[in-house]
Amino acid sequence: MDGDPDEGMLSWDESVFRNEHVFEIDYVPETFKHRESQTQSLTYALRPAVRGSRPLNVMVRGPPGTGKTTAIQKLFDEVGAQTGDIRTIRVNCQVNSTRYSVFSRLFEGTFDYEPPSSGISFKKLFGQIAEKLVEQDRVLVVALDDVNYLFYENEASDTLYSLLRAHEEYPGAKIGVVVVSSDPTLEVIDELDSRVQSVFRPEDVYFPVYDQPEIVDILDERVRRGFNDGVISRETLEYVAELTAESGDLRVGIDLLRRAGLTAEMRASRVVEREDVENAYEKSKYVSLSQSLSGLSDTERALIEVIATNDGEQAGAVYDAFREETDLGYTRYSEIVNKLDQLGLIEADYAEIDGRGRSRSLTLAYEKEAVLDRLE
């Protein structure tokens, strides 16, 4: 009926979404735009594996939210669909940040079940993986996603050394490595031991930040697949892209679309308005913070909380408060401080202290409330 006040309103069983999963961070899009040259470089590196040879190693670099994981996942899916002679395994190093846990994931990917939780040495774990590859005459391609976390835990060199030297201890083992770093300050090659540098000569594939027209194009594809027709206007979409470009992280835009849609539904509206985007942005802009915090251990999260309540204090004073909660020594405390600094969660700046020389002051890199809210 013309003029019906409820015409633009959702009923209780309706949604603005056609497929909400399209806006999940781990969704792999059917069409992958504006990364053609990077995809070609990765394909080139893996091509020898299709012929049964060891592939070229690759170093993939770029800020968060620039398509690195998606590119690798799509390539691995394509390889898996073409041949059964190549085993591709992506390891999330944010979750698996030690050599043993990385190889536990490789064991699981090789045998399709998890290794025993205890009682098996690294040497035996590694040996079973390598022997299985030789027995099946399969090539293994390992993607160490967010490899920067292995560096934060001083586990990168040992992990890469084991993978790159596998063929020496187990003749016939063919393993290629793709290392993926989201830390623009990390010089991967320079930080590796000389014994690893001598054998690790990777192809370098860089993923730059998307520019605004590219962001509009990518988000428009998500809108068409994820929302019902007419839910978001072009003007609103371009506003979302503008906010995304400011952050430099495509994940912000994807999360922002989903939250703006949910905000519109809360109003029972059939369309997403600019105000919905503005309200949703207060949470979406912290996507990177949430991702970083989710990978921290209980001890590391405890230190974040201590720094939040002692923001701007000298490292020694923060340690005293931290030790009261955890009983950990200063060496481990210093290691965690360095990791949190490398992750961009805190700022550890050196300053001259009267009569005491140089000392670090520790401050949060984000608003205190935003950090504490996401620690709960």
The whole-angstrom separation of Cα 75 and Cα 40 is 10
| Residue 211, amino acid | D
Residue 58 CB burial class (10 angstroms; 0-12, 13-18, ≥19): buried
What's the pLDDT score for residue 109? Answer: 96
Residue 66, annotated as binding a ligand: yes
70 is annotated as contributing to ligand binding: yes
Residue linked to tokens 């974040």: 304
Check the annotation: does 69 bind a ligand: yes
Report whether 368 belongs to an annotated binding site: no
Cβ–Cβ under 8 Å, residues 270 and 11 = no
Please give the Cα distance from 350 to 265 (Å, whole number).
Answer: 48
Which residue would you say has higher pLDDT here, 4 or 292? Answer: 292
Give the Cα-Cα-Cα angle 257, 259, 263 (nearest 5 degrees).
115
pLDDT in tens, 100-132: 999 999 999 999 999 988 889 999 999 999 999
Give Cβ neighbours of residue 5 (< 8 Å, ≥ 6 apart). none
- How many of the other CB atoms lie within 10 Å of CB of 376? 4
CA separation for the pair 108, 95 (Å, rounded): 15
Using one digit for the tens of pLDDT, what is the confidence trace for 158-183? 999 999 999 999 999 999 999 999 99
The 3-class SS string of the chain reads CCCCCCCCECCCCCCCECCHHHHCCCCCCCCCCCCHHHHHHHHHHHHHHHCCCCCCCEEEECCCCCCHHHHHHHHHHHHHHHCCCEEEEEEECCCCCCHHHHHHHHHHHHHCCCCCCCCCCHHHHHHHHHHHHHHHCCEEEEEEECCHHHHHCCCHHHHHHHHHCHHHHCCCCEEEEEEEECCCCCCHHHHCCHHHHCCCCCEEEECCCCCHHHHHHHHHHHHHHHECCCCCCHHHHHHHHHHHHHHCCHHHHHHHHHHHHHHHHHCCECCCCHHHHHHHHHHHCCHHHHHHHHCCCHHHHHHHHHHHHCCCCEHHHHHHHHHHHHCCCHHHHHHHHHHHHHCCCEEEEEEEECCCEEEEEEEECCCHHHHHHHHC
Please provide residue 15's backbone torsions phi and psi, each rounded to the nearest 5 degrees: -145, 155
185 assigned to a ligand binding site: no
Instruction: Give CA–CA dist 66/77, Å, rounded.
Output: 19
CB 55 within 8 A of CB 203: no
| Structural contact between residues 28 and 290, judged by C-beta atoms closer than 8 angstroms | no
The answer to the question of whether 244 is labelled as a binding residue is no
pLDDT class for 258, splitting at 50, 70, 90? Answer: very high
User: Domains in the chain, start-ordered, CATH in brackets?
Assistant: 36-206 (3.40.50.300), 210-289 (1.10.8.60), 296-375 (1.10.10.10)
pLDDT at 359: 76
What does the alpha-carbon distance between residue 149 and residue 293 come to, in Å, rounded to a whole number? 13
Is 83 flagged in the annotation as binding? no
Count CB atoms within 10 A of the CB of residue 356: 9
Entry pTM: 0.90
Band (1; pLDDT cuts 50, 70, 90): very low
Sign (positive or negative) of CA dihedral 243, 244, 245, 246: positive
Report which of 301, 298, 295, 263 is spatially closest to residue 280, judged by C-alpha positions. 263
Q: How far is CA 23 from CA 30, 152, 298, in A?
A: 13, 30, 29
Cα angle 24, 26, 86; round to 5: 155
User: Each residue of 24-55: pLDDT tens digit?
Assistant: 988 999 899 999 999 999 999 999 999 999 99
pLDDT, tens digit, for every residue of 353-371? 655 567 789 999 999 999 9
pLDDT tens, residue by residue, 195-244: 999 999 999 999 999 999 999 999 999 999 999 999 999 999 999 999 99
